[in-house]
Amino acid sequence: MINGYVRNGDLNAARKLFDQNTSSRNVVSWNSMITGYVKHDHMPHAQLLFDQMPVRDVVSCNTILSGLYKIKNPEGIYHSILQMGRIGLRPNEFTFSIVITAFLNTVFNVLIPQLHGLILCLALNSSVFVGSSLMRGYTDLRNCEGLHQVFDEILVKDVTSWNALILGYMDLGLTAKARRAFELTPEKNVVSWTTLVNGYITNKKLNEAWSLFNKMSERNVVSWTVMINGYVQNDKFVCALEVFLSMLRSGARPNHFTFSSVLEACAGCSSLLMGKQIHSNVLKFGMPLDVILSTSLVDMYAKCGDIEAAFSIFESIPKKNRVSWNSIIGGYARHGLATRALEEFERMMKCGVRPDEVTFVNVLSACSHGGLIEEGERHFNLMGTKYGIQAGIEHYTCMVDLYGRAGHLEKAEKLIKGMPFEPDVVVWGAFLAACGLYSSLELGEFAAEGVYKLESDHPAVYSMLSKIHGEKGVWGTVFELRKMMKERHAKKQKADAKPEHLQEYDPT
């Protein structure tokens, strides 16, 4: 009866029945209640009930471990697995899979070799399920020897274990070993091919990825989406759209992730017409507009110039997340609508959504474009004092740009000299542009020196200094700079009519 209530999501009725039948409670009823709380995100209730259990079994422990993993609490998982050993419970394959996965990318990943030793003692090392988790663990530790050792310990290797090996090698940047493992795989499936394609993309080898993708005899929505997203992540937006059109021609049905990637491609190349057509396709395929897809639409319309359409879709999102808010604030900032960007930021705060680094880049950018110096300074200071966010290079760039546009070059210079890290070429470039705008020769040479140290042949250095010296009437220096520019072959950069990658490959 308790199970029935839990399955239907009626936890209050389940708990009432659980509390009434104290005499007939057994480990199954306790586990049912804990499972219900974990499933419906009531982790404090689940933990409290787990702590009160008179007798626990491995299911109880695995359930609470799953809950702790769900709320990203690796420390809690560490203490739970220790407690499990103290009361004499034997972990099973599922236990180790949860624990290893939870420890990835945390300080607890150093315990993976110890877990490996325990797995060997319990004779679970031959399991494909445990082996695949351990292989991910050793990959996270950048331990190629451990990765291969675990693979060798699996007695009956199926396609899943081979795919885990290929993935591990690719994550370690060992593309040749991954390709060799792929060729040795006795029975390849679409996951094997997709894993290799995605690995090449991750390692910035788009040519190899595309070549392999073309050889695939079978493609599913995941493999198509991986290839599209690969082009998007490498700023090959036109290529991504071409692959998407090929996908439609093949009869494959896109999913949410496909459309999100394609909308990002439209935003990247500022193709409003294509973006509208993709929006129509989303509606045509009957895709529910969840927060992820809606946010992608907001971002696309904002970056393609239709800020009102972006705001209309943003307002239709019933439960906005931080990414949604960042998209609309960033959209207003790019359109120079500083006041509206700051109004949305204030509304974000009132809705209880906590800002992150991206939020403040958008807010400071809005202040820069709107010439709101005091507002920019206030938000720059609030980052650390109120929200505990350390300013990064992007935030300093925005502030340099803000001061520079307003003609406060001394403030910009002081900020650059006081930065906790070395300025990059973007910071120096923003300052150099401001010096050119206000014809400041002394500070312009200081900014040019900063750019030159990082990128000696950057054309902006020569052209901007030539402009400043020309406006000051120092023509001898102008001619000298032009001569240097010619000698060092520093030419103005021109946009190619067609992306280089499209010239090499035709994704259709």
Confidence of residue 274 (pLDDT cuts 50, 70, 90): very high
Q: Give me the torsion for CA of 211, 215, 220, 225, rounded to 10°.
A: 10
Lowest mean pLDDT among 333-347, 398-412, 450-464: 450-464
Confidence of residue 18 (pLDDT cuts 50, 70, 90): confident
CA distances from 289 to 256, 282, 292, 407, 504 (A): 9, 8, 8, 45, 36
**What is the rounded distance in angstroms from the CA atom of residue 185 to the CA atom of residue 208?**
19
Kindly state the tokens that stand for 52: 């009160």
Kindly state the tokens that stand for 80: 């739970």
**What is the rounded distance in angstroms from the CA atom of residue 4 to the CA atom of residue 16?**
13
Structure confidence at residue 257 (pLDDT): 93
Q: What angle do CA 194, 93, 7 make, to 5 degrees?
A: 85
The structure's pTM equals 0.78
What amino acid occupies position 449? E
- What are 211-241's pLDDT values in tens digits? 999 999 999 999 999 999 999 999 999 999 9
Q: Answer for the pair 357, 345: CB distance below 8 angstroms, yes or no.
A: no
List CB contacts of 240: < 8 A, sequence separation 6 or more: 228, 229, 231, 232, 261, 262, 265
Kindly state the tokens that stand for 103: 């420890």
H-helix or E-strand spanning residue 120:
helix 112-121
Higher pLDDT, 172 or 470: 172
438, exposed or middle or buried, with CB in 10 Å at 0-12, 13-18, 19+?
Answer: middle
Structure confidence at residue 489 (pLDDT): 47
Kindly state the tokens that stand for 190: 């679409």
Confidence of residue 499 (pLDDT cuts 50, 70, 90): very low
**What is the rounded distance in angstroms from the CA atom of residue 234 to the CA atom of residue 201?**
9
Structure confidence at residue 452 (pLDDT): 63
**What is the rounded distance in angstroms from the CA atom of residue 457 to the CA atom of residue 392?**
26
**What is the rounded distance in angstroms from the CA atom of residue 256 to the CA atom of residue 116?**
37
Q: Answer for the pair 36, 6: CB distance below 8 angstroms, yes or no.
A: yes
List CB contacts of 84: < 8 A, sequence separation 6 or more: 61, 91, 95
Confidence of residue 288 (pLDDT cuts 50, 70, 90): confident
DSSP state of 156: S
- What are 66-84's pLDDT values in tens digits? 999 999 999 999 999 999 9
Share of the chain above pLDDT 70, in %: 85
Structure confidence at residue 242 (pLDDT): 96
Kindly state the tokens that stand for 218: 């079978």
**What is the rounded distance in angstroms from the CA atom of residue 19 to the CA atom of residue 480?**
89
H-helix or E-strand spanning residue 474:
none
Kindly state the tokens that stand for 385: 């004092």
What amino acid occupies position 218? E
SS (H, E, C) 307-334: HHHHHHHHHHCCCCCHHHHHHHHHHHHH
List CB contacts of 127: < 8 A, sequence separation 6 or more: 93, 154
**Structural domains in the chain?**
392-508 (1.25.40)
Q: What angle do CA 237, 241, 247 make, to 5 degrees?
A: 145
278, exposed or middle or buried, with CB in 10 Å at 0-12, 13-18, 19+?
Answer: buried
Structure confidence at residue 496 (pLDDT): 38
Within 10 Å of residue 73's Cβ, how many Cβ atoms?
17
User: To which residue do tokens 């030793």 refer?
Assistant: 117
CA distances from 440 to 428, 434, 444, 445, 470 (A): 14, 8, 6, 9, 12
Q: Answer for the pair 150, 126: CB distance below 8 angstroms, yes or no.
A: no
State the average pLDDT for the chain.
86
**What is the rounded distance in angstroms from the CA atom of residue 325 to the CA atom of residue 425?**
29
Residue 183 has pLDDT above 80, yes or no: yes
Lowest mean pLDDT among 25-39, 96-110, 286-300, 376-390: 25-39
Structure confidence at residue 485 (pLDDT): 46
Q: Which of 358, 283, 298 is nearest to 328 (CA)?
A: 298
Residue 362 has pLDDT above 50, yes or no: yes
